[in-house]
Amino acid sequence: MRYREQAHSYIGLHFNPRLEEGFMEWLPHITVATIVEDNGRFLMVEEHKAGRNVLNQPAGHLDPDETLIEAAVRETLEETGWDVEPTGVIGIYLYTAPSNGVTYQRVCFSAKAVKHHPDYQLDDGIVGAKWLTRDELIAQRDNWRSELIIRCIDDYLAGHHFSLELIRPSL
């Protein structure tokens, strides 16, 4: 196996020598999510996806020229109307959606709620924000956007809190 094939294999890419130089067949989507907890209740987003309402943490894609932390703060505001202050990293997760085969790399942050903007215009497709306990979420399992919801919350509750310094700035 040539070096480039080995390197692609190591990082999960599928090397195809027939493709143009530098083109890769598989690209993960880089996403962020935020766990915001207040007295045992978690800030969740109800959103309309694929013809039904589903629950998720405030989450979304990293935008160009944005840090992961900036993306988490922005997505939380855009989807819930809450300003938050990130306090740590819960984990980094790899998830392939069974519905479309797309792979997402999620960086999940913990954050504290700072200020609510009740009149904030939420993103398209967002029904609204909800504060739910873990038990309330378990009761609504059929409405989860993905299993990452409970995995991130359980990691948070288990004390998986890493320093924000884990996230290194761009060079």
81: tokens are 């109307």
Query: Phi, psi (5° rounding) for residue 150?
Result: -75, -30
Judge whether residue 9 has pLDDT over 80. no
Cβ atoms of 111 and 80 closer than 8 Å: no
Which one-letter DSSP state was computed for residue 29? Answer: E
Whether pLDDT at 22 is above 70: no
pLDDT at 83: 98
pLDDT digits (tens, 9 = 90+) for 115-138: 999 999 999 999 999 999 999 999
Amino acid symbol at 56: N
Whole-number average pLDDT of the chain = 88
Give the pLDDT band (50/70/90) at residue 23. low
Domains of the chain by start residue, with CATH: 27-166 (3.90.79.10)
What angle (nearest 5°) sits at the alpha carbon of residue 31, between those of residues 135 and 85? 70
Angle ∠(55,58,64) on CA atoms, nearest 5 = 130
pTM to 2 decimals? 0.83
Residue 103 pLDDT > 50 = yes
Q: Residue 70: enclosing H or E segment and its boundaries?
A: helix 68-80
The residue with tokens 């007295």 is 39
The set of residues, in sequence order, having a beta carbon less than 8 Å from that of 12 and lying 6+ positions away, is 26, 28
The SS3 of residue 43 is strand
Residue 104 CB: number of other CB atoms within 10 A?
18
Higher-pLDDT residue of 138 and 49 is 138
Q: Are 55 and 144 in contact (CB under 8 A)?
A: yes
Is residue 135 within 8 Å of 141, Cβ to Cβ?
no
